[in-house]
Amino acid sequence: MPRWIWIFLALAVAALLWAASRGPSAPVPTDAGAEQACLAVPREAVALLQAPHQSPVPGGVHPFRHGEFTLAPLAGFALEARVLGREDYRFDREAELSPTDLALGWGAMADPQVYGRLDISQSGRWYHYRWGAEGPPIPAPEIVRSSANMHMVPGNARVAAALSRVREGQTVRLRGWLIEAHHPQGYRWRSSLTREDSGGGACELIYVCELEAY
């Protein structure tokens, strides 16, 4: 094999290793509307055993720019949940906006004795769970209502840094907005607005203004 091909392959591998070491992409600059939206995030209390809190968008909150995207808030969103899994994305179309998905569980699905009996995985922006021959640890509809795969859109560098440290098994508390994202090339990505759905379109797309993990 010619020497130049070996050099090219070595450089390509080095570039991939460098990209992998960087972690999920930092959020791109946003306009003043994003800052105003985060200031207006609802402040309701949330708890691990409760369902996420969803609230109407106040009149003063409007669509705002985030990089090449325009984000339209659809509902205020707050939750405290167990991290059932985490998956980072770099090369799909959505990674520019949402570099990380978290599979989250609350209520019964925050209990290790429940989710520990499930085989949980993530891929292709989906969250998958399976149970063994003994059957599901709780009724399947309750698994749907008490867990979800959520696409994280970091609203600022502080949130991006906190998100980069989140690990499976931790508890996270976050506040922000369920959003619809529009790209000038015609691409649209819309959040689910219910915890009762499953399958395609059932994931939450969250513009995260505050995030802590413990």
Write down the domain spans for the chain.
Answer: 24-213
Domain 24-213 has CATH 3.40.1160.10: no
pLDDT band at 126 (very low <50, low <70, confident <90, very high): very high
Three-state DSSP at 49 gives: coil
Q: Which two tokens stand for residue 124?
A: 């292709």
What's the confidence (pLDDT) of residue 16?
47
103/163 Cα distance (integer angstroms)? 13
Q: What is the pLDDT of residue 91?
A: 87
Contact 169, 148 (CB under 8 A): no
If you search the block for the tokens 């520990």, which residue do you land on?
Answer: 116
pLDDT per position as a tens digit, 83-117: 999 999 998 889 999 999 999 999 999 999 999 99
Mean pLDDT of the chain: 89
Question: In terms of DSSP H, where are the helices of the chain?
Answer: 3-21, 32-39, 112-115, 140-145, 157-164
Produce one character per residue of 85-109: b if its CB has 16 or more CB atoms within 10 Å, e if not.
bbbbbeeeebebbbbbbbbbbbbbb
Q: What is the DSSP letter of 168?
A: T
| CB contact at 8 A, 56 and 85 | no
Distance CA 10, CA 56 (A): 53
pLDDT one-digit tens code per residue, 20-78: 444 455 455 567 788 889 999 988 889 998 999 999 999 989 999 999 999 999 999 99
Amino acid in position 191? S
User: Is 58 strand, coil or helix?
Assistant: coil
pLDDT for position 64: 96
**Contact between 211 and 162 (Cβ < 8 Å):** yes
pTM of the model: 0.86
Q: Which residue has the higher pLDDT, 160 or 30?
A: 160
The CA angle 19-24-27, to the nearest 5 degrees, is: 120
